[in-house]
Amino acid sequence: MGFGMPLIPSVKIAEMKTNVYHRADTATLLKLKQQESDAILDILQSINTDFRPEQIVRVAGYSLRAQLGIGKMCLCIYEKGALKPILGFGTPTPTALQLQEVSKITLLTATNTLTLPWLQENGFEYLIPFTGKQGLEGLLMVGDFAHSFPEQQNDLIFMQTVVKILGIALENKRLFDEKVTQEALKRELTLAEEIQQRLLPRRFDIFLNVEASALNMPNLQVGGDFYDIVKVKENCFYVCMADVAGKSISAALVMAVMQASLKALVRNELPLEDIILSLHETLFAINQGEKFVTLFLGKIELEKQTITYINAGHNPPLLVNANQHQELMAGCIPLGIMALSGVEVGTATLSPGSVLFLYTDGLTEQLNPSEEQFGALRVLEVLQSHQSLPIESVIAHMRQTQLEFAQGIPSGDDISMMAIRF
């Protein structure tokens, strides 16, 4: 809320007393002005400290009272959409309802202030708002402060000067605090990013006859994609690729819980159906259906040359060999939405040289300037044309092709990919 700075006329007629400004000599007037300057300096010095807004306002209020001999005062700051009294003396503290009425009448003409009898009853003569670029920062309510009209006008000028300083000070303080908060959040996000990257596997030298490589590119500093390879015994391991709905911290937290749960379950070598059901129950207990996870989980047995898998609503991984390919689609709905029923377990045969490519939808949904999607067909074309290269090069070519396709258009989601050659 914002409004101008008009002074509201007095609701009482003050008795004219001796006019100190008319009778004072030059030296006395200079001394008075010096005192005003010193009072303003005290307020400015309080602004340059680590004082909270309430403390800055109190310093200003006490300085005003000492300098002007104010008999009645209420100083408020505007916080969370309402005026909050910080300092007052000589009169009862206005109630929240009364302050709400005051914040409304300052938007109206001066005569409308007479509709609030309690202002007169409490002896307030002037309402002086202080504002910043974003609107109201606070309000000074005063009365019983001058002995003559010229003195009153001088005091009002001084008060207006002080509240202008307060308006700027409170705005700058808020902006500074917001910047500090943003910097703290940035540091926390950086730390969360580091932790998340450490949770993702970096080394893939599981078996001599298996090559693997992976890449994760969160849309924000932290994301909801994760992948893992877990060795459970000789010639047997599990591979997982998952995508938590949403982005940033909330998705990252769900990702961390799911990854920890998955590791514990697969190391007990439970059946795939039991692992998927347990992950679903864990996720549902956390989010009550508000967040879901698409997930692919496969058990690879090298001696049998098979992969047994369940695809829970995830982008189908591609199993590519020579000019043939297979999409691994059997499974169930995404985890965490509703009760799972009819979970299907799929199987596929691994041939020497086969490449298994897993990815999240950030890759296929990448847009170019023409708003065309990268699509699953391009993923397949890159795999078929580069499948004989070292597995790290397969990932690198996929990433480069995606960037060339995007032509500078940022991805709208996290992108993760993993390639395994048997």
Mean pLDDT along residues 70-97? 88
**393 pLDDT exceeds 70?**
yes
Please say whether the beta carbons of 309 and 354 come within 8 A: no
Phi, psi torsion values for 177, nearest 5 degrees: -65, -40
Could you please report the per-residue DSSP string of 347-403?
A: EEE--TT-EEEEE-HHHHT-B-TT--B-HHHHHHHHHHHHTTS-HHHHHHHHHHHHH
Contacts of 397 (CB under 8 A, 6+ apart): 382, 386, 389
Residue 9: HSE in the Cβ half-sphere, 13 Å Cα cutoff: 7
The DSSP string of 233-284 is ETTEEEEEEEEESS-HHHHHHHHHHHHHHHHHHHHTT--HHHHHHHHHHHHH
Q: What angle do CA 297, 232, 201 make, to 5 degrees?
A: 65
Rg, the chain, Cα only: 35
Number of H helices, E strands in the chain: 11, 15
Report the percent of the chain where pLDDT is more than 70: 82
**Is residue 22 very low, low, confident or very high in pLDDT (cuts 50, 70, 90)?**
low
Give the tokens for residue 413: 């989601």
Q: Which residues contact 34 (CB under 8 A, 6 or more apart)?
A: none
- In this predicted structure, the answer to whether residue 6 has a pLDDT above a threshold of 50 is no
Decide if pLDDT at 152 tops 60.
Answer: yes
For 327-362, write each residue's pLDDT tens digit: 999 999 999 888 888 899 999 999 988 999 999 999
Q: Out of 25-34, 178-187, 241-250, 295-304, pick the least confident.
A: 25-34
> What residue spans of 48-148 are helical by DSSP H?
53-68, 96-105, 117-121
pLDDT digits (tens, 9 = 90+) for 226-254: 899 999 988 899 999 999 887 667 777 78
Q: Which two tokens stand for residue 218?
A: 């969160």
Q: Evaluate if residue 298 carries a pLDDT over 90.
A: yes
3-state secondary structure of 316: coil
Which sequence spans correspond to the domains of the chain?
20-178, 200-421
What is the β-pairing status of strands 236-244 and 324-327? unpaired
Strands of the sheet with 82-89, listed across from one edge: 82-89, 72-79, 135-143, 126-132
Split at pLDDT 50, 70, 90, the class of 225 is confident
- Weakest-pLDDT range from 14-23, 262-271, 325-334: 14-23
Lowest-confidence range among 8-22, 182-196, 242-256, 280-294? 8-22
pLDDT range class, residue 168, cuts 50, 70, 90 = confident
pLDDT of the residue at 8 = 34
Output the CA–CA distances (angstroms, integers) from residue 318 to 106, 241, 286, 350, in the order listed. 68, 12, 31, 12
Which pLDDT score is estimated for 28? 56
Domain 20-178, CATH: 3.30.450.40
- Mean pLDDT within 58-74: 85
Better pLDDT: 45 or 217: 217
Per-chain mean pLDDT for the chain: 81
Chain-centroid distance of CA 111 in Å reads 45
> To 10 degrees, what angle do helices 26-47 and 53-68 make?
170
The structure tokens 């032509």 sit at 407
Percent of the chain with pLDDT over 90: 33
How far is 335 from 337, CA to CA, in rounded Å?
A: 6
The reported pLDDT for the residue numbered 394 is: 95
User: Is 162 in contact with 60 (CB distance < 8 Å)?
Assistant: yes
Q: pTM for this one?
A: 0.62
pLDDT 10s digits, 89-136: 898 888 888 888 887 766 544 334 446 788 878 888 888 888 777 778
d(CA 55, CA 207): 66
200-421: CATH homologous superfamily?
Answer: PPM-type phosphatase domain (3.60.40.10)
For residue 324, report the phi and psi dihedrals to the nearest 5 degrees.
Answer: -110, 155
What φ, ψ does residue 335 adopt, rounded to 5°? Answer: -80, 145
pLDDT at residue number 112: 43
